[in-house]
Structure 1
Amino acid sequence: MITAILLAAGQSKRIPKENKLLKNFRGKILINHILNQLIKSKVRRIVIVLGHEHSLVKKATITNKKIQFTLNKNYKSGIASSIKTGIKKINKFSKGFLIVQSDMPYIKKTHINKIYNSIDKKNNPVHLLKYKNKIGNPIGFNSSIISKFKKIKGDVGAKFMVKRLKKDAAIIKVKSEKIFKDFDKLTDF
């Protein structure tokens, strides 16, 4: 089994007085764009890590049998705590997992499936999407490296692991840089 960890615990500090995940973008709230794609993908389980305004985010998200929610009570300490919270929910028989940011609406199920297939068929520790010289999210990992995530702290995300394991990565080429766009400011909407 391959699990997706959807990070949805952040405080949206760059957008004052609003939770960006609950903002409307092209007819639906931001988090539901990526969630729709994860549901349609080959991923069999989606662990949504909640934190800031957790009850509002949970209530607004799509419901599906693939989804499991978990609460990161330490979300204010940074993204590393959300990654660790999600990893705790990975099945011990899982072959791998994806770390997915919830503010990236241009990622499609085809991108997710490419990472899924790479994890499923290859034993590389990390599986990366790449456009020209740019690497971006989501990122796939083999379950054999879960213990390495115990060392991350603060606002250190999955890219920390990518730097350490890049030479052993499976590279998955994509056709557009647009999929790497994350929404951090009001002007992104």
Structure 2
Amino acid sequence: MTKRGMQVLITSSVVFGILIIVVVAGLPLYVFPRVDERQYTDAIFVLGPSLQSRVSIARSMVDAGLSDSIVISVPAGGSSDEWTRQACDGETSYLVRCFTPSPFTTEGEARYISELSAERGWNKITVITATYHVSRARFVIEQCYSGQLEMVNDAASLPLTVWVAQYIYQTGAFFKAIGSSCST
């Protein structure tokens, strides 16, 4: 093997090794995060985007008597989910509050969660988000909210391309979150 060939082999092996380490290290954060049992809670927060699968989890929890309040994070233009649009317009039997965090980020959602919970006297909340987002959302919300926090994942099936993109995005966002604090 030539010297150039050996350098390429070593470089490729190092890059592949780092990639394997990143994927394995991300498994407990993004693929198999710590999630909590669904139990009674003062309010259920659905983090954005307000996908039908996440809203359905919140509705099933209310139907099971685990809460009577659903709070949904929606983008400035509103939700693409029909039930969420109706709920935000007050057209459902559920007690729903919709909000657009400022900024429309996990940190903006965490600040709103903290403010609304303090205003309402909520000491125990449940947050529903995508599986890949659970660990980072828990980290960010715990910086703002001092009550008991339960995290429930939306385990909707996702294509490999979404997982790859989320591994990259969530890792970068985790580093950003580590360097910031909740400023309510």
Q: Which structure carries more helix by proportion?
A: 2
Structure 1 or 2: more strand by fraction: 1
TM-score (norm 2): 0.43
Highest CA radius of gyration, 1 or 2?
Answer: 2
Report the TM-score, using the length of structure 1 for normalisation. Answer: 0.42
